[in-house]
A and B are shown apart, each in its own frame.
Chain A
Amino acid sequence: MSNYEFFKPQTVKEASDLLKNDGYLALSGGTDMLVKIKNGFFKNLKAVVYIGGLPFKEIKKENDKVIIGSGCTMEEVATNPIIKENYPTLVEAANTVGATQIRHMATIGGNVGNSSPAGDSIPALYSLDAQVVITNGTSQRTVEIKDFFTGPGRNVLQAGELIEAFVLPFRKTTGRFMKLGERSALAISKINLAVSAWEDNKKHYRVALGSVAPTVLRSKKAEEILENAAHPLTEEAIQKASEAARETADPITDIRSTKAYRKQMAGVLLRKALEK
């Protein structure tokens, strides 16, 4: 391991000021960061800024919104009563990250901040119309989750900015999160998919696919087919939606899987999610 410094700021402002320095990186749960640090992934690492002491650990309902602090662990997200009651897709996604030990450390803010196209909480957040609250200790800005990512491992965070929370519209949703990996635990997804649905005066669907493009994609065509279909869904509607998901997927062949397999599985995962 390289010879970096360590800081444990107690306020957001303090953390933000530290993170403005070149080579200073934020550390939360550490389950991705420590592996990368040990592997020498960060050539220019000068300091680790531990943000686990910041007040980003609450999940609460405020009027028509649910706010999830970025420092909540996957375990805290998956077991929170508000989340369990309203967002089953996010519960399933959080429960498939790593294994028990990882889920007690890894944070949802870290999963999004890391910005891997395969991050398991990300399609779930897309499917729930999440917004990302970004802070620099003095002011906040909010971006739609789809506008947060700019490429694999890249996002709109500027030096000195931190993810404070995720905001979800409060609504009772149903849904599923599906993932394919080498094994069910501790595997980085070859492909993952989140479907969330809710109903007001009409049916709404969100279909989000991970690991099939540089950032997570929504299959708006699949959503449209599902929203306009008769319910319960017919075999024909499921078939059409699955084809649409397959068309949306624009994957590459890499170390984890192939382009053809991922594309094919996009349709299969949507079918399985809808049939359950």
Chain B
Amino acid sequence: MKIIFTLNGKKVEAETTAQMTLLELLRQNFKLTAAKEGCGKGECGACTVFLNGSPINSCLKLAATLNENDSITTVEGLEEDKLMQRIRQSFTDEGAVQCGFCIPGMTLATHHLLSKNPKPSLTDIKTALAGNICRCTGYRKIEAAVKNAADKGE
């Protein structure tokens, strides 16, 4: 079946099946490979994308459920975004990236946090990133990177 939605600011059309998830659609049809499948059941956050500005697990969203007025944003769509540029720099500066698999999801969860709460406490940071798992277990540096990005926003 055909679906129409907005992807990274552009109206797009795609052919999907009843079974295809949004994550599969993004990776296979649009070759947007930042969002990844870790667990496939909403526990690891590697597949995080924004749906109408809010983070969701794209592995649990059927592509067919998208409406014409839905807007999906992936990390690739935030290249020019000032907040995302700052977050990326902070992750680099703090050495928060090891294998990198979780990082697109981590940075999107961070973006969502800082856009709503520019001065988060450590608890706020941990809560906001609780849906993102890093199997290199680099959490300390990731938390430091989020703090760093928040501090640079002043």
Contact = CB atoms under 8 A, between A and B. Distances in A.
Contact of B60 (A3, A34, A99, A186): A34
Instruction: Classify the secondary structure of B's interface with A.
Output: mixed
B65 A38 contact: no
Residue of A4, A101, A102 with most chain B CB atoms under a 10 A cut-off: A101
A139 to B, nearest CB: 27
Interface string A32-65: 0011001000000000101011000000000000
Contacts of B1: 6
A82 interface: no
B51 A30 contact: no
Contacts of B36: none
B18 A5 contact: yes
A52 B132 CA distance: 25
B120 interface: no
Interface string B92-120: 00000000000000000100100000000
Interface of A: 1-6, 8, 27, 30-31, 34-35, 38, 48, 50, 52-53, 75, 98-102, 104-105, 184-186
Nearest to B128: A100
B38 interface: no
Given A99-B130, A100-B128, 12 more contacts: A3-B19, A6-B1, A6-B62, A30-B60, A31-B60, A34-B21, A34-B62, A53-B67, A100-B131, A185-B127, A185-B130, A185-B131
Contacts of A6: 1, 18, 62, 64
B62 A48 contact: yes
A102 B64 contact: no
Nearest to B57: A101
B65 A30 contact: yes
Nearest to A73: B54
